[in-house]
Every structure is written in structure tokens, then in C-alpha cells.
Amino acid sequence: MIKLMKRSLILSSVLLSFGLATSVDLQQAIAAELNDKVDKTHDEADEKLIYKINHHDYELYTDVLPVRTDCYIHRDVESSLLLSDYIANQAIEQGMTKFGSAISDNIAKQYKTEIIPKFKEVISDTTKGFSTNDWVTLKWSTQPSSGLGEKIIHLYNGDSGKDILRFHVRRDQRPKQGYYFNFHYHTMFDNYESHNELGIVYWGKDMPPQWSSDTHDV
């Protein structure tokens, strides 16, 4: 499978593993996204994007690892891209759920073409430096907030429950201009203090309905 993906640029980092397996959620997410991108051949059907390799396969194994271990994680760079694609698709689905038909009918196109590509870059930047344990414990929320809440989707550590990345949308009213939707994100790296803007989508002069509404009632 990896050979089919542009012969694949292999990420040169070496990640230690002590019998630690990747999470089922992560494997399924990457596998599901991969099935949409390449056709599996019979010989390569069992290849994984994140997998353990015997140390005899690498001559420099004992020179680069600081401690002795039986195997380490070999991670293809495409796995991070596929994960970003998958989570971005989740953000689209959860965004549509959050907006409700009353709002999504008007902003869905801009959300998908202007906001999501920028959010996907943020996901890639956030996950590219992940340790083995970070990959294993990575999870994402499935319930966007309704009403007037800002939450679209959060990435978090499944063990600690601590949020890693928060993708939000805020309603802004500008005098004499109308209402705007401000899409932004917060990260754990500064304790969620910074407001990192991804883009602004104009709604109109009238107050938008609450999130998840199927009517235009405010």
C-alpha cells in the first residue's frame, strides 16, 4: 500500500515503542481514509501506515536509539496527511450538524473551501511532532455544541482527557455591517489563551438563528 502512494516519502524520525500498539480508532481512521485514495493489491493488503519493524532491518538501529528495545515504530509521512484528511472530514460533518440547515444552506460552501483547508494545515502542524504515545492516545470529539456555544470539534488525549486542539466558531456583530462567523482555534501549547483566526464568513444584517437550528428563528 505504501508503495502505491508515490513510493512514499518515509518520515525519518525513529519512535520508540515498548510493545505499544496503535489505537484501533486511529488505525481505522487512517485505513478508512486510505481506502478512498488508493486501490489495495492482494500482496499489499496487510501493510499498515504505522507498524513495528524488527531492528535487524536497519543497520543504524543500535547507533541512533538511546536505549535497547526490540522494535520501533516506522511511520509513513502520508499517515499524518491521511489523519489530517480524516479529521478535516469529521470537522465538515460536525460543522454541518452544528450549523443546522438554516445556517449551512448559506455558508457551507465557504466553510468547506475556505475554512477547512486552513484547519487541515493546523492539524498537520499539530500532529507532525507527535510522539508514539501521542498517536496512540489521540481522539476527537463527536458532539459539536448547539445554541450559542462555539465548539465544532476538539482533538484530545484519550488517557488524560486534556484537549490538544479546539476548533471553534464565534458570532460577531459589527455596527452597521451585520453578523459574521469567526472561525478560529485554540491549542494546549499556550493553555488555550491565543485566539488563532482561520477565517471570517459573513452572514447578513439579520441576527443568525441559534446553532443546530432548522428554522430561521433566532
Per-residue pLDDT of the chain (218 residues; tens, 9 = 90+): 544 343 333 333 333 332 333 455 555 555 555 555 545 444 443 444 444 445 455 444 444 444 444 444 445 556 667 888 999 999 999 999 999 999 999 999 999 999 999 999 999 999 888 887 888 899 999 999 999 999 999 999 999 999 999 999 999 999 999 999 999 999 999 999 999 999 999 999 999 999 998 766 55
Within-domain flag for 36:
no
- Where in the sequence is the domain holding 180, given as residue range(s)? 100-204
* The pTM of the whole model exceeds 0.75: no
Q: Return d(Cα 64, Cα 124) in angstroms, integer.
A: 26
Burial of 41 (0-12, 13-18, 19+ CB in 10 A): exposed
Within-domain flag for 38:
no
Within-domain flag for 79:
no
Within-domain flag for 143:
yes
HSE (side-chain half, CA atoms, 13 Å) at 192: 10
HSE (side-chain half, CA atoms, 13 Å) at 83: 26
Within-domain flag for 215:
no
Number of domains, the chain:
1
Within-domain flag for 172:
yes
Q: Give the three-class secondary structure for 72.
A: strand
Grid cell locating 18: 515498548
Grid cell locating 53: 519493524
Q: Return d(Cα 50, Cα 92) in angstroms, integer.
A: 25
Q: What does residue 129 show for φ and ψ, rounded to 5 degrees? A: -100, 15
Q: Return d(Cα 22, Cα 137) in angstroms, integer.
A: 8
Within-domain flag for 111:
yes
Within-domain flag for 110:
yes
